């Protein structure tokens, strides 16, 4: 199918017929408005090619409705994701006849898809050298999330790398503030990772947060790569999908893109209204994000396990035209939660811990080791408490945070 099928949940206002409401969504998002138009007549009847259609309407036990709307592919400007969103996720959220409406999913056809990730899971694993071990990547967010200067940030990165992890990243609110200028930080962290590599032999990724205005992000990313960055990070919802797309398509930016989703709760959290994570995740894959925060099953952020599992399946499922995205499980994780994450999400996952590493009683290196030990235990099928009897770093983490 060349057209785009969008699935919505909606609740009509009292007294509004459900079929009328579903059609009102279709009309508002395609060729119509609230009344008939003199500009649509026999001579301009060709515009009806863009009318789209309501394909399905099902009443749900909670009194809401599920509907699928088919948008003709010609209504989209290929590759223009802001325009896609104005069609599938635009005015409809404010329609007065609706109590609530939520975009649940999209079937984005190949002819409308973007270039996709340059690296994907296999490409990232290759850089780090984990392609044969079949374990999750272990990552950390440097904490405190803001405030450290470049020298101290690099020291934390060095200590984390000594523990053997795969990924270090900036937090979503750290960009290029005066207390920690981006290029000073990048240079110091990459130097620290080189020193750690001399000791461990292992290449660690550092996702430097290049989130900035649309007129500056590509230039900033180019400069970051020239200065030695081996991964870039973007806050997709604050910067926009175009930011990812611009970086993924820019010649010369040959490093993976880590995608954070800060602000997503404003869209995803209300189960009846807004935009579910699924379409956001699919658009990130299409735009070229290599790894993406999709939520955890046991962490602090209130994600729903079933949705995280299904979203991860969608962004990792094989497609001939888009590489799979590495799903990132993060937010309140610590070694005691690793077994639950692996049991539900598998091993093709990035498990990130900020507080759960830098809050370890013996410091960052021990915290990193404890996360890796917890992953080893889970993969071997050994309970963390049992594994901890011969792994002191894991024992100290479990003593502080427990194993649930
Ligand atoms: C995790 C994190 C991430 C959250 C965001 C934080 O840190 O860096 O931003 O994971 O949620 O600041 O909370 P901790 P999500 O490990 O210290 O909790 O991944 O669900 O988008
Ligand atoms: Mg964060």
Residue-wise pLDDT tens digits, 350-402: 999 999 999 999 999 999 999 999 999 999 999 999 999 999 999 999 999 99
The domain in which residue 14 lies consists of 4-112
Residues in a beta bridge with 53: 70
158 shares its domain with 255: yes
CB-ligand 1 contact for 66 (6 Å cutoff)? no
- Closest ligand to residue 300's CA: 1
Number of domains within the chain = 2
Longest dimension (CA), the chain: 81
Q: Is there a single domain that holds both residue 102 and residue 131?
A: no
Contact 348 CB / ligand 1 (< 6 Å): no
Q: Is the pLDDT of residue 151 over 80?
A: yes
Judged against a pLDDT cut of 90, whether residue 184 lies above it is answered with yes
Q: How far apart are the first and last CA of the chain?
A: 45
Shared domain for 339 and 215, answered yes or no, is yes
Is residue 335 in contact with ligand 1, taking CB distance under 6 Å? no
Mean pLDDT over residues 233-253, rounded? 97
Q: In the annotation, is 143 catalytic?
A: yes
Q: Is the pLDDT of residue 195 over 80?
A: yes
Rounded to 5°, angle at Cα 156 from 347 and 355: 55
Do 54 and 179 lie in one domain? The reply is no
Residue 93's pLDDT is: 98
- Taking the centre of ligand 1 as the mean of its atom positions, its distance from the CA of residue 330, in whole angstroms, is 5
Report the sign of the C-alpha dihedral through residues 190, 191, 192, 196, in that order.
positive
Torsion sign, CA atoms 75, 80, 84, 85? negative
Distances (CA, A) of 324 to 10, 281, 290: 31, 11, 8
Peptide bond into 144 cis (omega under 30): yes
pLDDT of the residue at 18: 98
What value does the mean pLDDT of the chain take? 97
Please, which pLDDT band fits residue 134 given cuts at 50, 70 and 90? Answer: confident
- Residue 232 and residue 352 in one domain: yes
Q: Distance, CA 303 to ligand 1 centroid (Å)?
A: 12
Distance of CA 207 to the CA centre of its chain: 14
Domain boundary among 112, 131, 164: 112
Q: Are residues 207 and 102 in the same domain?
A: no
In terms of domains, do 183 and 94 share one?
no
Q: At 60, is the pLDDT very low, low, confident or very high (cuts 50, 70, 90)?
A: very high
Q: Which of 209, 264, 265, 331 to mutate to test the pocket of ligand 1 (most atoms within 8 A of CB)?
A: 331
Query: pLDDT tens for residues 271-281?
Result: 999 999 999 99
The domain that holds 59 is classified in CATH as: 3.30.70.150
User: 68, 137, 143, 264: which one is catalytic?
Assistant: 143
Q: Which atom of ligand 1 is nearest to the CA of 328?
A: 19
- Ligand 2 mean position to 99 CA, how many Å? 33
The pLDDT value recorded for residue 394 is: 98
Q: Cβ neighbours of residue 343 under 8 Å, at least 6 residues apart?
A: 378
264 given a catalytic annotation: no
Ligand 2 mean position, distance from CA 141 (Å): 7
Q: Which pLDDT score, from 0 to 100, does residue 404 have?
A: 77
Residues 255 and 168 in one domain: yes
**Domain CATH for 284:** 3.20.20.110
Q: Is the pLDDT of residue 132 over 90?
A: no
* Last residue in a domain, options 73, 91, 112: 112
Region of 216 on the Ramachandran plot (φ > 0 left; ψ -120 to 50 alpha; else beta): alpha
Instruction: State the closest ligand 1 atom to the C-alpha of 264, by its place in the atom list counted from 1.
Output: 21
Asked whether the predicted pLDDT for residue 83 surpasses 90, the reply is: yes
Contacts of 113 (CB under 8 A, 6+ apart): 286, 321, 322
Specify the length of the chain in residues. Answer: 404
Mutate to test the pocket of ligand 1, among 302, 307, 354 (most ligand atoms within 8 A of CB): 354
- Are 47 and 152 in a shared domain? no
**Residue 129: per-residue pLDDT:** 94
Q: Are residues 264 and 289 in the same domain?
A: yes
Whether 146 and 107 share a structural domain: no
Residue 131 has pLDDT above 90, yes or no: no
One domain, residues 185 and 313: yes
Query: What was the pLDDT predicted at 133?
Result: 80
Nearest CA to ligand 1 atom 10: 331
Residue 137 CA to ligand 1 centre (angstroms): 16
Q: Is the CB of 300 under 6 A from ligand 1?
A: yes
Please identify, among 87, 112, 137, the residue that sits at the C-terminal boundary of a domain: 112
At 62 the pLDDT is 95
Which residue is catalytic, options 137, 169, 258, 260? Answer: 260
């Amino acid at each position: 199918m060349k057209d785009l099928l969008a699935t919505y949940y909606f609740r009509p206002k009292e007294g509004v017929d459900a079929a009328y409401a579903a059609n009102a969504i279709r009309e508002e998002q395609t060729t119509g408005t609230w009344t008939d138009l003199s500009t649509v007549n026999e001579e301009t009847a060709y515009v009806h090619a863009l009318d789209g259609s309501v394909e399905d309407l099902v009443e749900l036990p909670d009194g809401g409705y599920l509907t699928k709307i088919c948008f003709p592919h010609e209504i989209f400007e290929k590759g223009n994701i802001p325009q896609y969103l104005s069609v599938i996720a635009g005015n409809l959220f404010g329609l007065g006849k609706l109590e609530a409406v939520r975009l649940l999913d999209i079937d984005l056809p190949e002819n409308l898809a973007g270039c996709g990730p340059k690296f994907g899971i296999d490409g990232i694993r290759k850089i780090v050298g984990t392609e044969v071990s079949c374990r999750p990547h272990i990552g950390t967010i440097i904490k405190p999330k803001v405030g450290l200067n470049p020298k101290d940030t690099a020291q934390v990165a060095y200590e984390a790398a000594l523990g053997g992890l795969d990924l270090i990243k900036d937090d979503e609110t750290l960009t290029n503030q005066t207390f920690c200028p981006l290029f000073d930080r990048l240079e110091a962290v990459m130097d620290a990772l080189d020193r750690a590599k001399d000791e461990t032999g292992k290449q660690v990724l550092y996702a430097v947060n290049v989130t900035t205005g649309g007129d500056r992000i590509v230039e900033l990313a180019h400069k970051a790569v020239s200065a030695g960055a081996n991964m870039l990070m973007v806050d997709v919802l604050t910067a926009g999908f175009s930011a990812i797309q611009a970086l993924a398509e820019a010649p010369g930016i040959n490093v993976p893109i880590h995608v954070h989703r800060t602000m997503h709760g404003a869209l995803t959290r209300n189960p009846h209204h807004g935009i579910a994570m699924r379409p956001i995740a699919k658009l990130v894959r299409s735009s070229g994000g290599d790894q993406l925060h999709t939520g955890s099953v046991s962490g602090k952020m209130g994600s729903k396990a079933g949705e995280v599992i299904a979203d991860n399946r969608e962004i990792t499922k094989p497609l001939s035209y888009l590489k799979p995205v590495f799903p990132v499980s993060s937010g309140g994780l610590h070694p005691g939660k690793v077994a639950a994450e692996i049991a539900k999400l598998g091993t093709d996952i990035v498990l990130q811990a900020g507080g759960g590493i830098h809050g370890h009683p013996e410091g960052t290196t021990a915290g990193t080791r404890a996360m890796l030990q917890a992953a080893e235990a889970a993969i071997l099928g050994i309970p963390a408490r049992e594994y901890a009897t011969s792994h002191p770093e894991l024992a100290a983490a479990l003593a502080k945070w427990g194993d649930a």
